Amino acid sequence: MRIGFLALSGIRVIDPDLAMIGLNLPGFVERSKVIASLPSLGLLTLAGLTPDEHELRYLDIPDVDAPDLIARLPGPFDVVAISSFTAMIKDAYRLAARYRAVGTKVILGGLHVALCPDEAATHADAIVVGEGEPAWPHVLADLARGQLRPRYQTTAPYDLAEAPMPRFDLLDVSKYNRLTIQTTRGCPWNCEFCAASIRLNPKYRTKPIPKVIAELHRIKEIWPVPFIEFADDNTFADKRHGHALCEALAAERVRWFTETDISVAQDDALLRKMRQAGCAQILVGLEDPADGLEGMELKSNWKARQRAHYLDSIRKIQDHGVTVNGCFVLGLDTHTEASFDRIWEFIQQSELYEIQLTVLTPFPGTPLYERFLRDGRLIDPLAWEKRTLFDVTYQPAHLSVEALRKGLLDLASKVYSTEFTDFRRRQFIRRKLAAEDRAA
Ligand code: B12
């Protein structure tokens, strides 16, 4: 079969004022360029599970509505596999319709499909709900026999010891400024708003280190000195795995970025190893420096219990030469007009190297979405295209929608201004040098 693996690329903001700010602020533009360019690891993984007898192509589709799209793209394909996140799902459905109109079978999978399977099923010949690896061989076999089923559902947690080698070789690597490797899946915590891989399967799993290193070696064959982003939700939740991962990476001379939680600050030896292993930055969900954390993590209120250590933890991690990208969520139920100033004060005090500001976003399939739906607080429950993490899609508890929008815009203009961006970078270097002096 000729199989096309199709990813929707780029990042999205609907609100024109927010898009404008993106065009004007240096820190923001820089970040957007960096994060917009990544291939779909989910599709490359499925391609890695596809037997050699099939002919494969991987394509990033920048504009699904472009005239003559299908005629201009490589192909034709017997079947296309399309991946989904919520913000671009309507684009994915339009792309699916265009392919189905020319007789190509369409398989849809990914996070949004897992969260809204009944909706997705109306746009595809088959959908895969949950993790893709266990289902994909069945999809291929059923396609070959002409007996495709409309729905494939996976529930048991996929064992990452079985993980296939993603087909990085299908990429035109000159188009990307970093490539992804997944070293863990899931997260031990369960935050009310989280719409990441715990929604595919809640079990936290680690990939055997030799497999991670083999993936890195495969990437180095096409890109000798790559920059790597780990496509993990919480790389260092399992400290033993984290130590072993860093020890193995130390020999690789590669720079990398990942997402993890603030608990890395409690492990000095791990911080030293992260630095030696080439860790450039960790992205940490701080969410709120005040009482908005209360009740956010649903298993044991874990997030709220970390708050008292935030400032010390950030300093300690950065003193080890690893920059922290601190993420804040605006519009939590405790937030009032005063919260924006409080977050701004905390950011200044923290000396965080990088900051991500997003608006609380009720993604479908999350406990947050269910709560807001129940309470009648969703502005347009099915406006999936607005689930961008920047657009306001619900009625905040103690703010108007406009006040939240404006609060984000004002805070973003302060945080991403040239002056403050320069200040943050200078502070980081100053503190790092001082820490190195102390250590010498
Ligand atoms: C890398 C990444 C990106 C890349 C995506 C590149 C791409 N085309 O895939 C870039 C930088 C472009 C990006 C952009 C955006 N992202 Co993003 N991103 C991530 C990140 C960090 C990792 C995703 C990943 O690679 N996972 C690993 C792979 C292996 O998992 P997977 O994709 O889920 O695939 C598995 C299954 O879903 C399934 N599967 C997937 N596709 C298919 C298809 C078929 C046919 C089948 C059978 C199975 C299948 O099989 C795979 C293996 O099990 C996650 C956060 C995180 N830590 O996970 C956020 C995340 C996915 N992003 C998110 C968001 C909000 C966005 C943006 C909307 C931001 C914005 N404002 O623009 C855009 C939307 C982009 C889009 N095109 O739709 C949210 C999505 C929530 C949701 N439910 O939609 C996440 C979870 C982060 C968060 N804060 O919540 N992102």
Model pLDDT for residues 253-268, shown as the tens digit of each residue = 999 999 999 999 999 9
- Answer whether 88 contacts ligand 1 (Cβ < 6 A): yes
Q: What is the mean pLDDT of residues 198-215?
A: 96
- CA nearest ligand 1 atom 39, residue: 110
Model pLDDT for residues 132-190, shown as the tens digit of each residue = 999 999 999 999 999 999 999 999 999 999 999 999 999 999 888 899 999 999 999 99
Residue 41 CA, ligand 1 centroid: distance in Å = 8
- CA nearest ligand 1 atom 17, residue: 85
Please give the backbone phi and psi of residue 284, each rounded to the nearest 5 degrees, phi first: -125, 130
Residue 85 CA, ligand 1 centroid: distance in Å = 6
Residue 422 CA, ligand 1 centroid: distance in Å = 31
Taken in order 101, 102, 107, 111, is the CA torsion positive or negative? negative
- Answer whether 12 contacts ligand 1 (Cβ < 6 A): yes
Residue 19 vs residue 46, higher pLDDT: 46
65 forms beta bridges with: none
From the CA of 152, give the closest atom in ligand 1.
Answer: 47
Q: For residues 138 and 404, what is the distance between their CA atoms, to the nearest angstrom?
A: 47
Lowest mean pLDDT among 34-38, 51-55, 212-216: 34-38
What does 246-290 look like in DSSP terms, one character per residue? HHHHGGG--EEEEEE-GGGGG-HHHHHHHHHTTEEEEEEEEE-SS
- CA nearest ligand 1 atom 31, residue: 42
- Answer whether 241 contacts ligand 1 (Cβ < 6 A): no
Q: Tell me, what DSSP letter sits at residue 225?
A: S
From the CA of 81, give the closest atom in ligand 1.
Answer: 45
Burial pattern 306-326, b for ≥16 Cβ within 10 A else e, equals bbeebeebbbbbbbbbbbbbb
> Cβ atoms within 10 A of the Cβ of 295, count?
13
Q: What is the mean pLDDT of residues 314-339?
A: 96
Per-residue pLDDT for 326 more than 70?
yes
Q: For residues 184 and 239, what is the distance between their CA atoms, to the nearest angstrom?
A: 12
Residue 167 CA, ligand 1 centroid: distance in Å = 17
pLDDT recorded at residue 372: 98
Q: For residues 428 and 223, what is the distance between their CA atoms, to the nearest angstrom?
A: 30
Choose which residue among 85, 177, 205 to substitute to test ligand 1 binding: the one with the highest number of ligand atoms within 8 A of its C-beta: 85
Q: What is the mean pLDDT of residues 241-248?
A: 98
Q: What is the mean pLDDT of residues 223-243?
A: 96
pLDDT recorded at residue 28: 54
- CA nearest ligand 1 atom 23, residue: 231
Q: For residues 39 and 43, what is the distance between their CA atoms, to the nearest angstrom?
A: 9
pLDDT recorded at residue 37: 74
- Answer whether 185 contacts ligand 1 (Cβ < 6 A): no
Type of residue at 22: G
Structure tokens at 279: 């860790």
- Of the pLDDT bands very low, low, confident and very high (cuts 50, 70, 90), residue 405 is very high
- Answer whether 130 contacts ligand 1 (Cβ < 6 A): no
- Answer whether 339 contacts ligand 1 (Cβ < 6 A): no
- Answer whether 95 contacts ligand 1 (Cβ < 6 A): no
pLDDT recorded at residue 21: 64
Average pLDDT, the chain: 94
- Of the pLDDT bands very low, low, confident and very high (cuts 50, 70, 90), residue 338 is very high
- CA nearest ligand 1 atom 47, residue: 109
pLDDT recorded at residue 141: 97
